[in-house]
């Protein structure tokens, strides 16, 4: 067994028993990155020197016998949407190609407090807009299970880098499924926490009322460790909620017997890939055997989630992305007049999908259309949220497929934005309602491509999702399967 | 709702995006089909539904009025593309229609 | 010939005097180096997020209560989207359909009558930075970006430049009394846009209005309105139509000039700010602020009139500034003579100092009260009091001390005055004869001579009496 195949908990034990050093582990990861980067294109920036420096520093501290976080010395990587002071942060966009942030996001500050080792910044869809990681100024990253296929998006490389064992954990963001869909497509565990659980401060905004940060890992427990490190109230983010963070690890072993699990009938529709349906059905059977009560529920407004999501998200995005104008930072196009500079900077600096969404969002908010589109969508959002509120009156958790299909081929949906948007069907309602969602491997299709199970919970009930996810993981072997090298 | 090239042109002006005529054509047809699909929402009766803009039930998130220095002028200028004597330099502002 | 009347509404922006900016902890200090007071939030860095300043809300509520507005239980911040280099995020966080407060009024006194100007709303927003225009480039300074503002929007209730100016002065007095804004128009902490249209007298419908921006003094507000009245009148009389547009006040040429009509292209695409949660101001919060409200100018004026028996004109002058009003009341406490104290402040003190600037005066309110007391008691004459006053201005010494050290006490001694009177009459026999022959005007001459002999110390009343006796 390779060192990189161990879980964070196992590595943490090895580190604290001084069987290995963080430097050694970091070098293993860096070697792995160099071996696979060309095929996978997962990293935009590799911070090799800084990583080794941190690793050595943590090793020294450990030798002094100081008490360290379970994550100390563990090599991780961040989606290139997290601001890291002094380390280039591009959001996979030409417009931020040269941007070296002058401050740190709260998540990275917390990771530094935990003495994790940052290996570098990961590829993604530009400004997190996309479901395939193809909308990147730095080229698409690829799925380790099949290099012809997408790792999913927008946090595609965050999932792929964990699947390919380049790093021991990673962080991404999820606005409409951008953690869960790639986790599903790359066969790793990922969680989108409740809105307000993790600080958004210093994370480049796509759609402010939907964006949330979450980790990827090889196992439910790894993800629980990673989330614990970054979750919690932050006075710099007005939407962060002052609710204490439970000890996720100690919650894992709670019995799932008697948990009421809802299965929304609207998620088992035409167009759901047969093998995906089969795998999810199999998972539900396992959960039933574990002693949980399975019941069918209804989330009647599911069919309206895609229009609602794309109207709200693009409206917010059109405003959030107005600041990229060449005046204060980032790319500035050469021009004689100010207006020209604005238009050229933005025209040249943003990619096709980003401009498409800015146009859409501008339309949605513009005079004469606001009520029919933005306001209407915000009202339907209320109904979608209410569907979940009602459902959670009768069940503890909801289990669904994550994406209608396994990883699709690169280029397959690039010319049809609507088809691309429709692939987010099972993940976006969660963001509209601000709820948490956990994804973990539950099978493989006939092409040996991973399938992910999605567990949804009530607001701030991450520990309950971990509880079920862990029990399921213990009962199955799917998470142990690694991609064919 | 039909998305015309003129509307696309207007939106590009509002968003200050320079688009090629090909892009304009492309976005007109794509937005037309997207908006067409989004019309689906009109079937939902929302006459008595309050809109949701925030999903967390927080109110009055406030900070005390304390001045703190957290950032220096060098931090700012390290990212500004063009600056002179501490000010951000831009092409002469005449008017942005 | 049609007579026109102007219909005027004002939009006033007041910078709140908080220590830190509205959404970040940067200092609001006025004369910092360029871009010194900035941080990721107020420069619109990627990923930065706003957090609302509690004191800014308190101050806005204060103004809302003082103007009799109804404070909305829920108010919502919204983004106003437009591109400009001094607006780092390219949207301004403001309030739109749920402002902080609505439906208030302000009382103004103009041309001897009292009038209520109704307010539509007061909302909170962030200020923009400053653009400095060079010959080939422009320069952006973001120190001002994010300073809290309240915008006070009136109904179009004013009918003349004088009324508009009175309203503006009243608002300025209020923000200063409340200590929420320093009200400095020149430095731009208190700014005003004027909406003005004309209509024939007795017509109900409003005409098309023009909005005038860039007015940075009270005098210019009046001038701009007067100019705009004539301009629009000329258009209407010539059978033309006024166009709705934004115009700039050009203070060098005393005229308004058209900005390219940017209104048409503007579509601000307001929507609720997702990064800030709604503000809920309940009755206990309102009560808390209410308890901090001071007596405002209008109330104080009325009280001065009734308590001290001052004329409305005098009371208005004394209460224009809170510091001056306080100074007056402290002085009266000592002098026990409200009218004389008032006269001394209005005629002597305000000749030397601006009413807003009374704090820099070396004469304390206590000392002024003592001076008035000395006059009132007859210890010194009015003339000597003026001398003492000018010494107090430079030294800051108490009047009693100056009186003693310079021997300026008034001479009441009957014998001494009589000697001076006798001497004067002796030395001017010629004039005494003339006086007795009927030249009554010479009486003043004798008084002057006696006063001169006494070096101004003789009590003028006694001198008068004695002279009358001796010349009879």
Per-residue pLDDT tens over the stretch B2-37: 899 999 999 999 999 999 999 999 999 999 999 999
Q: Cβ contact (<8 Å) for B62 and C57? A: yes
Q: Cβ contact (<8 Å) for B63 and C28? A: no
Structure token digits, residue C167: 């309203």
- In this prediction, residue C411 carries a pLDDT of 66
Compare all CA atoms of chain B with the CA of A372 and give the residue at the minimum distance. Answer: B42
* Assembly ipTM: 0.96
Q: Which residues of C touch A91 (CB under 8 A)?
A: 46
Which chains border A (3 or more CB–CB pairs < 8 Å)?
B, C
Per-residue pLDDT tens over the stretch A322-375: 999 999 999 999 999 999 999 999 999 999 999 999 999 999 999 999 999 999
Can you give the C-alpha Rg of chain A in angstroms?
21
Task: Tell me the three state secondary structure of residue C23.
Answer: coil
User: How many angstroms away from the CA of C304 is the closest CA of chain B?
Assistant: 36
- In this prediction, residue C263 carries a pLDDT of 45
B-C Cβ pairs (cutoff 8 Å, strict): 123
Q: Cβ contact (<8 Å) for A89 and C46? A: yes
Per-residue pLDDT tens over the stretch A142-185: 999 999 999 999 999 999 999 999 999 999 999 999 999 999 99
Q: Read off the pTM.
A: 0.91
Q: Cβ contact (<8 Å) for C57 and B73? A: no
Catalytic residue among A12, A178, A184, A194: A178
What mean pLDDT is predicted for residues A24-36?
A: 97
- In this prediction, residue A50 carries a pLDDT of 98
Catalytic residue among A22, A69, A79, A461: A79
Compare all CA atoms of chain B with the CA of C57 and give the residue at the minimum distance. Answer: B62
Q: Cβ contact (<8 Å) for C140 and B71? A: no
Q: How far apart are CA A382 and CA A306, in angstroms?
A: 14
Q: How far apart are CA A173 and CA A281, in angstroms?
A: 28
Nearest to C139 among B69, B70, B84 (CB): B84
pLDDT (tens digit, 0 to 9) for every residue of chain C, 472 residues total? 789 999 999 999 999 999 999 999 999 998 899 999 999 999 999 999 999 999 999 999 999 999 999 999 999 999 999 999 999 999 999 999 999 999 999 998 877 788 999 999 999 999 999 999 988 899 999 999 999 999 999 999 999 999 999 999 999 999 999 999 999 998 899 999 999 999 998 889 999 999 998 888 888 999 999 999 999 999 998 888 888 888 989 888 889 988 765 544 579 999 999 999 999 999 999 999 999 999 988 889 999 999 999 998 899 889 988 889 999 999 999 999 999 999 999 988 888 888 778 888 889 999 999 999 888 887 787 888 888 898 998 898 998 888 877 777 766 677 888 888 888 888 988 888 888 888 888 888 888 888 888 877 777 788 888 888 888 7
- In this prediction, residue C462 carries a pLDDT of 82
Q: Which residues of A touch C51 (CB under 8 A)?
A: 235-238
Interface test with A, best of B33, B55, B84 (most A CBs within 10 A): B55
Interface test with A, best of B34, B53, B76, B84 (most A CBs within 10 A): B34
Q: Cβ contact (<8 Å) for B79 and A378? A: no
Q: Cβ contact (<8 Å) for B73 and C260? A: no
Catalytic residue among A22, A136, A154, A199: A154
- In this prediction, residue C305 carries a pLDDT of 93
Nearest to A322 among C40, C90, C274 (CB): C90
Q: Which residues pair with A231 in a beta bridge?
A: A198
- In this prediction, residue B97 carries a pLDDT of 40
Active site residue A209: no
Q: How far apart are CA A450 and CA A477, in angstroms?
A: 13
Query: pLDDT band at residue A485, thresholds of 50, 70 and 90?
Result: low
Q: Cβ contact (<8 Å) for B91 and A101? A: no
Active site residue A79: yes
Nearest to B27 among A310, A359, A433 (CB): A359
Active site residue A178: yes
Asked whether A252 and A221 are in contact (CB, 8 A), the reply is yes
- In this prediction, residue B96 carries a pLDDT of 47
Buried b / exposed e across B64-92, counting CB within 10 Å, b at 16+? ebeeeeebebebbeebbbebeebbbbbbe
Q: Which residues of B touch C280 (CB under 8 A)?
A: 59-60
Instruction: Give me the percent of chain A exceeding a pLDDT of 90.
Output: 95
Q: Cβ contact (<8 Å) for A360 and B40? A: no
Give Dmax (Cα) for chain A. 70
């Amino acid at each position: 067994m390779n060192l990189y195949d161990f879980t964070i908990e196992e590595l943490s034990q090895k580190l604290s028993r001084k069987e290995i050093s963080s430097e050694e582990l970091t070098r293993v990861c860096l070697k792995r990155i160099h071996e696979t980067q060309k095929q996978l294109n997962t990293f935009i920036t590799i911070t090799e020197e800084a990583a080794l420096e941190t690793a050595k520093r943590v090793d020294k501290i450990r030798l002094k016998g100081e008490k360290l976080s379970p994550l100390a010395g563990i090599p991780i990587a961040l989606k290139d949407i997290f601001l890291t002071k002094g380390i280039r942060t591009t959001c996979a966009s030409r417009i931020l190609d040269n941007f070296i942030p002058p401050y740190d996001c709260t998540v990275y500050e917390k990771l530094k407090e935990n003495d994790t080792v940052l290996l570098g910044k990961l590829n993604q869809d530009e400004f997190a807009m996309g479901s395939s990681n193809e909308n990147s100024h730095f080229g698409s990253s690829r799925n380790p299970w099949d290099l012809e296929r997408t790792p999913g998006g927008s946090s595609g490389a965050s999932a792929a880098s964990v699947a390919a064992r380049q790093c021991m954990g990673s962080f991404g963001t999820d606005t409409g499924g951008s953690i869960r869909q790639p986790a599903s497509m790359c066969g790793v565990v990922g969680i989108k926490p409740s809105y307000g659980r993790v600080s958004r401060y210093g994370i480049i905004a796509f759609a402010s009322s939907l964006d949330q940060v979450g980790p990827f890992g090889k196992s439910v427990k790894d993800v629980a460790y990673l989330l614990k490190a970054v979750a919690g109230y932050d006075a710099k983010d007005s939407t962060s909620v002052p609710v204490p963070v439970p000890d996720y690890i100690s919650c894992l072993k709670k019995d799932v017997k008697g948990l009421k699990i809802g299965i929304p009938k609207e998620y088992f529709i035409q167009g759901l890939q047969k093998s995906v349906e089969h795998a999810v059905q199999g998972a539900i059977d396992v959960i039933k055997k574990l002693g949980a009560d399975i019941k069918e529920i209804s989330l009647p407004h599911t069919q309206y989630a895609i229009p609602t999501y794309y109207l709200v998200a693009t409206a917010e995005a059109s405003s959030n992305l107005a600041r990229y104008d060449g005046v204060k930072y980032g790319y500035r196009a050469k021009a004689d007049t100010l207006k020209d500079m604005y238009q050229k900077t933005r025209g040249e600096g943003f990619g096709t999908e980003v401009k498409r969404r800015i146009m859409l969002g501008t339309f949605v908010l513009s005079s004469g259309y606001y009520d029919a589109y933005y306001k209407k969508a915000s009202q339907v959002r209320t109904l979608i949220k209410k569907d979940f509120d009602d459902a959670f009156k009768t069940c503890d958790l909801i289990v669904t497929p994550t994406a209608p299909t396994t990883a699709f081929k690169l280029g397959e949906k690039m010319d049809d934005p609507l088809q691309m948007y429709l692939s987010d069907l099972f993940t976006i309602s969660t963001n509209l309602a601000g709820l948490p969602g956990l994804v973990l491997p539950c099978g493989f299709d006939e092409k040996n491509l991973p399938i992910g199970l999605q567990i949804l919970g009530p607001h701030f009930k991450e520990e309950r999702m971990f509880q079920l996810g862990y029990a399921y993981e213990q009962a199955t072997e799917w998470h142990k399967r690694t991609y064919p090298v | 709702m039909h998305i015309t090239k003129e509307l696309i042109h207007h939106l590009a002006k509002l968003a200050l995006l320079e688009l090629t005529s090909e892009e304009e054509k492309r976005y007109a047809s794509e937005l037309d089909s997207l908006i067409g699909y989004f019309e689906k929402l009109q079937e939902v009766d929302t006459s008595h539904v309050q809109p949701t803009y925030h999903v967390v039930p927080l109110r009055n998130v406030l900070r005390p009025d304390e001045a703190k220095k957290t950032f220096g002028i060098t931090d700012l200028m390290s990212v500004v593309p063009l600056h002179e004597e501490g000010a951000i330099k831009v092409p002469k502002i005449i008017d942005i229609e | 010939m049609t007579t026109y009347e102007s219909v005027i509404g004002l939009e006033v922006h007041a910078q709140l005097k908080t220590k830190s900016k509205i959404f970040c902890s940067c200092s609001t200090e006025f004369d910092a180096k360029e871009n010194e007071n900035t941080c990721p939030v107020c420069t619109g860095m990627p990923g930065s997020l706003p957090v609302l300043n509690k004191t800014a809300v308190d101050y806005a509520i204060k103004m809302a209560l003082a103007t009799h507005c109804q404070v909305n239980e829920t108010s919502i911040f919204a983004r106003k989207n437009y591109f400009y280099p001094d607006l780092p995020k390219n949207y301004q966080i403001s309030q739109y359909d749920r402002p902080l407060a609505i439906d208030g009024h302000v009382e103004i006194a103009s041309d001897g009558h009292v009038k209520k100007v109704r307010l539509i709303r007061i909302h909170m927003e962030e200020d923009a930075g400053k653009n400095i225009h060079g010959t080939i480039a422009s320069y952006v300074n973001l120190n001002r970006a994010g300073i809290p503002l309240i915008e006070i929007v009136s109904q179009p209730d004013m009918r003349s430049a004088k009324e508009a100016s009175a309203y503006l002065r009243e608002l300025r007095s209020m923000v200063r009394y409340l200590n929420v804004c320093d009200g400095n128009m020149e430095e731009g902490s208190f700014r005003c846009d004027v909406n003005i249209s004309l209509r024939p007298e007795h017509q109900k419908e409003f005409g098309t209005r023009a909005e005038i921006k860039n007015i940075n003094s009270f005098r210019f507000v009046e001038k701009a309105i007067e100019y705009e009245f004539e301009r629009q009148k000329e258009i209407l009389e010539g059978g033309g139509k006024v166009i709705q547009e934004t115009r700039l006040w050009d203070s060098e040429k005393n005229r308004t000039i058209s900005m390219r009509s940017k209104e048409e292209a503007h579509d601000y695409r307001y929507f609720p700010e997702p990064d800030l949660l709604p503000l809920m101001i309940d009755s206990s919060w309102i009560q808390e602020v209410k308890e901090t409200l001071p007596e405002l100018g209008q109330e104080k004026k009325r009280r001065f009139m009734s308590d001290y028996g001052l004329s409305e004109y005098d009371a208005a002058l004394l209460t224009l500034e809170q510091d001056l009003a306080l100074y007056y009341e402290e002085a009266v406490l000592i002098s026990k003579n409200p009218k004389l104290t008032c006269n001394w402040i209005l005629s002597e003190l305000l000749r030397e100092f601006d009413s807003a600037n009374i704090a820099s005066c070396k004469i304390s309110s206590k000392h002024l009260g003592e001076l008035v007391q000395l006059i009132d008691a007859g210890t010194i004459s009015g003339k000597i009091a003026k001398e003492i006053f000018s010494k107090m201005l430079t030294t800051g010494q108490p009047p009693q001390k100056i009186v003693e050290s310079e021997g300026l006490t008034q001479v009441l001694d009957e014998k001494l005055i009589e000697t001076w009177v006798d001497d004067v009459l002796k030395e001017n026999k010629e004039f005494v004869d003339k006086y007795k022959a009927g030249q009554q005007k010479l009486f003043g001459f004798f008084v002057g001579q006696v006063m001169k002999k006494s070096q101004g110390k003789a009590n003028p009343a006694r001198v008068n009496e004695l002279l009358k006796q001796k010349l009879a």
